[in-house]
Amino acid sequence: MSIIDHLPVLLIIGPIIAALIILAVGWHDRRLCYPVMLLSITGQFIASLIMLLQVIQDGTIRYYLGGWAPPLGIELVIDSFSGFILSTIMLLALLAIVYARRSVEAEVPAEKIVSFYVLIQLLLIGLVGMTITGDVFNLYVFLEISSIAAYTLIAGTRSPRSYVAGFNYLIMGSIAAGFILLGIGYLYVATGTLNMAEIAMLLPASYELSTVHAAFLFMMIGFSIKAAFFPLHLWLPDAYTESPSAVTVIISTVMAKVSVYAMIRILFTIFTTAYIIESFPVTGFILLIATIAIVAGAILAIAQNDLKRMLAYSSISQIGYIMFAVGVANQIALEGGLLHILGHAMMKGCLFMVAGLIIYRMGTSNLLELRGVAQTMPISCAAFALAGASMIGIPPTIGFMSKYYLVLGAFEAGYWLYAAVLLIGSLLAVGYIWRFIEIAYFGDHHGDGHQCASPEGPLSMIAPMVCLALLCLILGIFVEIPMEIIGPAAMILLGGA
């Protein structure tokens, strides 16, 4: 066995050791934390890419922890779906960490920086674990690792408001985790196993039991809270707005996506399409709620006066798009939904990075005080415009491609009306994106003349932002590259291949 064979478990154990090393070197010298962190995240990113290539070449990787085969032991599974999500979140995490350095220095009290980095590392361990595990209870444990880290990170700024936001998220998140734990218990009662693949195999025999229905509903509600799926999104705006900018970038891209991933896993891998479409038809209901989420999230976003809060409500709308794909549940729509997971991670990451940089530079994220900010910060506003165009869905950006697939999928399933709502959602997105563009570019500049040639901000903050904005465009043009992995992933979810 070479080291490559052990990559799945190293992906989790490596960062745990790294977290301890960060703590140890931080005790000695605070400045050493960041390089260790960057090294470990880069390692994780490279490992995730290697595994993605392996999956494309040789198919699904199954790793038995400690050599114990599934009914007894815990299994790590990397198929094209989890491989795709894994490399997406690691890419975003890497860029967010590059971005975090200066932003954290500005927003987090100096004595907390060591624990801050340790917590980010723990958050990523939890999220990576959730992505690659093949065991439902393991999923719960990793979910809690990431959640506890997230509650603490959100409360990490100097502003005392963030304590309240963190506490509210803790209450909601713990209810969600409790429901998920209960759902897992019901599943265990019904099947006698915790391995996802085995549950999927044994479950059809008890599809009619109310135990299974209860398990399904508890898990769905739990993950809906975690993913901030409308109308269970109430924790999200405060949490996104009050947390440090770097944390907002990570939780809005990486964490939100992993929660959606877990929900899709539960729906399609554990319960399978046979259950959610035939035995317990729930897709129509998900579709309805998703369309409401798309419209309501966008309207709420338009009504906000704070840049970060506006983007937070826009996230609720975008989660609606991904769940829309789940509701339609055919190949094309799911491809669109998975592409939107990647696309939304990139554009929302970029937009929140811009918001963070504006806070870093201007000290405020209130839209009314940002008139003419484009003169001071041309690069950031250009990045915002590009990612915003992707959010609206202007071709040839990635946002256009994913919405195009979603609409095609809805047409194929005959949901004409719902497809129309998708387009209305795009129009509403114009509303909130344009609002910032108008203020930034056409508002009266009332600055005190410091819009001179001084750099917009540290390079380590601008580079990842521009990188993400360009990726939105490039991956939209060369959409075949992500589709190569998304196609098989959608097929796996629908039970084929």
Is 425 a binding residue for another protein by CB under 8 A? The answer is: no
Examine residue 137 and tell whether it contacts another protein (CB under 8 A). Answer: yes
Specify the residue, 169 or 324, whose C-beta has the smaller distance to another protein: 169
Cβ nearer to another protein, comparing 186 with 321: 186
Looking at residues 86 to 105 of the shown chain, list those that interact with another protein (rule: CB under 8 A): none
Interacting residue with another protein among 10, 23, 182, 277 (CB under 8 A): 182
Which is nearer to another protein, 176 or 341 (by Cβ)? 176
Which DSSP symbol is given to 62?
E
Minimum CB distance to another protein smaller for 168 or for 375: 168
185 binds another protein (CB under 8 A): yes
What is the rounded CA–CA span in Å between residue 171 and residue 140?
A: 17
Q: Is 144 in the site for another protein (CB under 8 A)?
A: yes
By beta-carbon proximity to another protein, the closer residue of 262 and 286 is: 262
- Residue 178 touching another protein (CB under 8 A): yes
Is position 240 an interface residue for another protein (rule: CB under 8 A)? no
Our CB check for another protein shows the closer of 136 and 381 to be 136
Query: φ and ψ at 64, to 5 degrees?
Result: -95, 120
Question: Looking at beta carbons only, is 194 or 236 nearer to another protein?
Answer: 194
Q: Which of residues 193-222 bind another protein (CB under 8 A)?
A: 194
Binding span for another protein by CB under 8 A among 78-86, 187-195, 202-210, 481-489: 187-195
Nearer to another protein, 160 or 455 (CB): 160
Task: Give min distance, CB of 214 to another protein, in A.
Answer: 11
Least distance to another protein from the beta carbon of 131, Å?
19
CB of 301 to another protein, least distance (A): 21
β-sheet bridge partners, residue 64: 75
Binders in 156-175 for another protein, by CB under 8 A:
160-161, 163-164, 166-167, 170-171, 174-175
Assess 148 for contact with another protein (CB under 8 A): yes
Note whether 19 binds another protein by CB under 8 A. no
* Contacting residue, 189, 202, 274, 292, with another protein by CB under 8 A: 189
CB of 6 to another protein, least distance (A): 24
Among 36, 181, 293, 358, binds another protein (CB under 8 A): 181
Site of interaction with another protein (CB under 8 A): 137, 140-141, 144, 148, 151-152, 155, 160-161, 163-164, 166-167, 170-171, 174-175, 177-178, 181-182, 185, 188-189, 194
